[in-house]
DNA sequence: GTTTCGGTTCTTTTT
DNA sequence: GAACCGAAAC
């Protein structure tokens, strides 16, 4: 699908030079639906883009269109949910238009807020060098609040639960009570204690000048709401606001968008209510449903022509989603030639499923597909454990979009904690983490040391470092002194993150890792990568905030690798959103697994969301789709649990799929 | 009183 | 794998 002007954008245009695009360029590159959307006049626009209908393409051409009309890049804001989506969009737009990077404002909601808050933090009473807490940091902090209030009996909810309650309340701007009621119903919980702990959490974040992911959004909106002059500034700046995956916005994000676009009202939102799969983190697809009411003059364009999948796959997708209530009606219209029907394979158990997948992958390869054309998708990471072992045994190369993100791994966080301490004296979480690396220091001792240091630790202050050394036991103090020397040199090296981490690893962490982890080699390899990565940043502070927000970085890096190295791709359905493969295999299409029984028990609306998730999974496939249904689950204790076919399969009309029963003898 | 170690259990989805 | 728990070790 190379277009003439994309090549022109790459080769003919010098830096910053604009490529003039004419109406015929757009007509040639877009179908009539896409054309109508991309060249829509000013004002609010809602694009309902069903799966595989060229949504990104349309947005990219919208940006090109604006540019060709002389809109300066600095006046365009492009919001997406993932870093990957942002990169893809900006890259494609750049290659089309020929403008060099750095023009448009583009990125995730969290990035956008961070960028704005760094500039205006003072208005909200934060210093501009606030730290960002990732999920693990937040958990640690909540756990510490619980411990402090001596609530550690079994009845009290775990930190994760407390956080998700808090987040649910914050993201949908509701009272904690409502969130509690949703979660626990009439189960007896101590509301007061929960409230107190969460208040402690809030005040400790403030004291440490830290924001968690939710704070970035909440404070971003608060800044605009409470400071008219700041809101004015950005409303003027962003003459055009484009939002991708609008169906996944939560109320805070929707407010942010409304405010930013409030002046010029050139707001284009793109989404597909069928693909709304993030309600558990506050996303509300009613945002997209009610867009035409909130913007009565909105132009609505539907993209329904599907370029991705063969008709047989689209029939299954259309049938699967038809039963969901309250959605915009859209039907995927195929453009591709007819192919064979999707396959439903019944096998005895998980082991047979793993075998079957390997076999199927080999067959597909012998039919001419490359390994990188194939993906295995599943509802939850643990569904793929057995398959991972089988792939390793059979030497099939695969990359996994893992559940544990690169920057959340213990060893990476350990090394980064040194930088965090150096950059912000009030970062208690990082200081505690650093202390606990030393022998004989656990939670209690670390807390005591921090108290003695006055709740702060200025790593650039030799006296403060000396004090900590004296509070450690002898063997730990020896090691501390070496680290102390490295901290002392930090300023002199020009605050060089890479070399500081390098020294830290050499003087201390390498030994520590070997003694702590059985796979120290691999972890140290990660750290070397981290050190190399750090060199790309102009300052340590930039590195740290990027790291907190780019938890997905490895997935992106791996994405490139997988394509280059030709490996099979394993991924959750959530992480596969926005991607496509020639062949898709979906695991564990059984009741309890997909739909997940856990999520069904959470809320009434869960079944509809699981069905949308299944829809997302199916619509990733271009030509081949295979659904696996193991008949039993073997439990750890040796027990056997019979599995029923997923309701998403049994409710399909007759005749849409082929069936097969491999592995039965 | 704390830390550390070994064994056991259970895995949703993410910025 | 990692989080949790109980018991041994410091």
* A281 CB closer than 7 A to any strand B atom: yes
- Does residue A245 have an active-site annotation? yes
Candidates A58, A6, A50; CA nearest to A32 is A58
Give me the catalytic one of A56, A327, A445, A582.
A56
pLDDT digits (tens, 9 = 90+) for A600-654: 877 777 888 899 999 999 999 999 999 999 988 877 666 778 888 999 999 999 8
A652, A599 contact by CB (below 8 A): no
- Among all strands, which nt has the closest C1' to A442 (CA)? B3
Confidence of residue A14 (pLDDT cuts 50, 70, 90): very low
Tell me the pTM. Answer: 0.84
Q: Which of residues 431-490 of A touch strand B (CB under 7 A)?
A: 436, 439-446
* A529 CB closer than 7 A to any strand B atom: no
Give me the residues near strand C, CB below 7 A. A 154, 158-159, 404, 409-410, 519
Mean pLDDT of chain A: 84
What is the spatial distance, in angstroms and rounded to an integer, between the CA atom of A654 and the C1' atom of B7?
50
pLDDT for A402 equals: 66
- Does residue A312 have an active-site annotation? no
Token pair of A318 as six digits = 């259309």
A212, A205 contact by CB (below 8 A): yes
Candidates A221, A274, A275, A209; CA nearest to A109 is A221
Q: Which nucleotides of C are covered by protein (CB under 7 A)?
A: 1-2, 4-5
pLDDT for A386 equals: 82
For B9, which residue's CA is nearest its C1'?
A636
pLDDT digits (tens, 9 = 90+) for A205-216: 998 899 999 999
- Does residue A525 have an active-site annotation? no
* A556 CB closer than 7 A to any strand B atom: no
Note the residue count of chain A: 665
- Does residue A244 have an active-site annotation? yes
- Does residue A275 have an active-site annotation? yes
- Does residue A202 have an active-site annotation? no
Tracing tokens 């029939």 back to the chain, one arrives at A315
Q: Which residues pair with A193 in a beta bridge?
A: none
Give me the catalytic one of A82, A208, A275, A399.
A275
A55, A49 contact by CB (below 8 A): yes
Pairing of strands A374-378, A581-586: parallel
pLDDT for A549 equals: 77
Give me the catalytic one of A215, A245, A255, A284.
A245
Q: Going by C-beta distance under 8 Å and a sequence separation of 6 or more, which residues neighbour residue A147?
A: none
């Amino acid at each position: 699908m190379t277009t003439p002007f994309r090549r022109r954008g790459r080769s003919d245009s010098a830096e910053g030079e604009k490529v003039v695009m004419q109406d015929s360029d757009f007509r040639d590159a877009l179908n009539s639906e896409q054309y109508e959307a991309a060249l829509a006049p000013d004002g609010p626009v809602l694009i309902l883009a069903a799966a595989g209908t060229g949504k990104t393409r349309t947005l990219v051409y919208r940006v090109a269109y604006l540019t060709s009309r002389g809109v300066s890049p600095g006046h365009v804001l492009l919001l997406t949910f993932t870093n990957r989506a942002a990169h893809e969009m900006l890259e494609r737009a750049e290659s089309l238009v020929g403008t060099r990077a750095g023009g448009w404002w583009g990125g995730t909601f969290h990035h956008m807020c961070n960028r704005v808050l760094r500039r205006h933090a003072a208005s909200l009473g934060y210093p501009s060098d606030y730290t960002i807490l990732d999920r693990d940091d937040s958990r640690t902090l909540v756990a510490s609040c619980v411990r402090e209030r001596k609530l550690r009996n079994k009845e009290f909810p775990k930190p994760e639960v407390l956080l998700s309650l808090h987040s649910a309340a914050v993201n949908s701007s509701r009272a904690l009570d409502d969130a509690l009621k949703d979660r626990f119903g009439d189960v007896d919980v101590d509301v007061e204690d929960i409230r107190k702990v969460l208040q402690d959490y809030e005040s400790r974040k403030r004291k440490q000048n830290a924001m968690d992911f939710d704070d970035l959004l909440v404070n971003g909106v608060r800044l605009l709401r409470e400071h008219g002059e700041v809101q004015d500034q950005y409303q003027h700046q962003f003459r055009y606001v484009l939002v991708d995956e609008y169906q996944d916005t939560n109320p805070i994000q929707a407010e942010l968008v409304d405010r930013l676009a409030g002046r010029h009202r050139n707001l284009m939102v793109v989404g597909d209510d069928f693909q709304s799969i993030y309600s558990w983190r506050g996303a509300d697809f009613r945002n997209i449903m009610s867009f035409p009411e909130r913007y009565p003059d909105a132009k609505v364009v539907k993209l329904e022509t599907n370029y991705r999948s063969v008709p047989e796959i689209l029939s299954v997708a259309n049938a699967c989603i038809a039963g969901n209530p309250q959605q915009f009606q859209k039907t995927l219209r195929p453009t591709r030639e007819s192919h064979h029907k999707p396959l439903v394979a019944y096998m005895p158990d998980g082991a047979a499923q793993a075998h079957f997948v390997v076999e199927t992958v080999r067959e597909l390869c012998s039919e001419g597909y490359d390994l990188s054309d194939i993906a295995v998708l599943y509802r939850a990471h643990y569904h793929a454990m057995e398959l991972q072992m089988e792939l390793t045994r059979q030497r099939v190369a695969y990359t996994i979009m893992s559940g544990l993100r690169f920057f959340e791994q213990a060893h990476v966080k350990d090394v980064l904690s040194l930088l965090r301490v150096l950059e912000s004296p009030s970062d208690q979480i990082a200081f505690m983490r650093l202390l606990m690396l030393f022998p004989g220091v656990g939670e209690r001792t670390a807390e005591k040391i921090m108290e003695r240091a006055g709740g702060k630790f200025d790593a650039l202050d030799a006296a403060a470092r000396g004090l900590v050394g004296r509070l450690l036991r002898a063997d730990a103090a020896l090691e501390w002194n070496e680290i102390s020397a490295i901290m002392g040199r930090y300023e002199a090296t020009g605050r060089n993150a890479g070399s500081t981490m390098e020294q830290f690893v050499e003087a201390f962490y390498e030994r520590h890792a070997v003694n702590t982890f059985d796979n120290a080699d691999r972890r140290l390899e990660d750290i070397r990568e981290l050190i190399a990565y750090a060199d790309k940043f102009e300052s340590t502070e930039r590195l740290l905030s990027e790291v907190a927000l780019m938890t997905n970085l490895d997935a992106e890096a791996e994405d490139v690798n997988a394509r280059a190295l030709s490996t099979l791709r394993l991924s959750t359905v959530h992480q596969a959103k926005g991607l496509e493969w020639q062949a898709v295999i979906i695991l564990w299409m059984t009741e309890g697994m997909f739909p997940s029984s856990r999520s069904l028990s959470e809320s009434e609306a869960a079944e509809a969301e699981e069905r949308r998730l299944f829809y997302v999974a199916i619509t990733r496939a271009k030509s081949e789709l295979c659904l696996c249904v193991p008949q039993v689950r073997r439990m750890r204790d040796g027990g056997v649990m019979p599995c029923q076919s997923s309701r998403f399969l049994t409710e399909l009309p007759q005749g849409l799929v082929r069936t097969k029963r491999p592995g039965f003898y």
